[in-house]
Amino acid sequence: MKRKILFFILAAVITASAFAQGTGKINRPVTDKITVSGNLIVARGSPALVSGDVTYLIGGLRRLFGFVDGLKEGAEVSIEGVAMSSQKEDKTKLLIPSKLTLGGKTYEMAPMPEKFRNKNPGERGQRNRQHGHYL
């Protein structure tokens, strides 16, 4: 009798753990196209802008430091792009820039290369057979 009860408990635990894995799909955050102006600051180790009570972490801007004159902490900039809200924090958003205006000069920002985009975040760690590396 003890063996049967132990077997059913073990089967229930294995079944529950298999279904607890989920589908691997993550809900995409809501995106808005906006323009934010202000002085560049550093927040969480990334370039950022503060507008009102929202901090916009600017993705992809680090690659321009050293190449664009005057692009540094404290510089007055205007950035147009897509803002992605965080599911955990209402006061912080990720801003993916498409245009940067600094000192009256506008820079078009190239989109992130296809190979660096995370198309399906649920498949992290899957082996990419075509290129022979992990995603």
- Could you tell me the maximum CA-CA distance found in the chain, to the nearest angstrom? 82
Give tens-digit pLDDT for 53-94. 999 998 888 778 878 888 889 999 999 998 888 777 778 888
| Block residue for tokens 């102006």 | 37
Is the CB of residue 57 less than 8 Å from the CB of residue 43? yes
Is the CB of residue 56 less than 8 Å from the CB of residue 93? yes
Distant-in-sequence, close-in-space partners of 57: CB < 8 Å, separation ≥ 6: 43, 44, 46, 47, 48, 92, 93, 94, 95
Give tens-digit pLDDT for 33-59. 889 999 999 988 889 999 889 999 988
Bridge-based pairing of strands 31-39 and 127-128 is unpaired
pTM beyond 0.95: no
CATH, domain range 31-109: 2.40.50.140
Q: Residue 63 and residue 111: Cα distance in Å, rounded?
A: 12
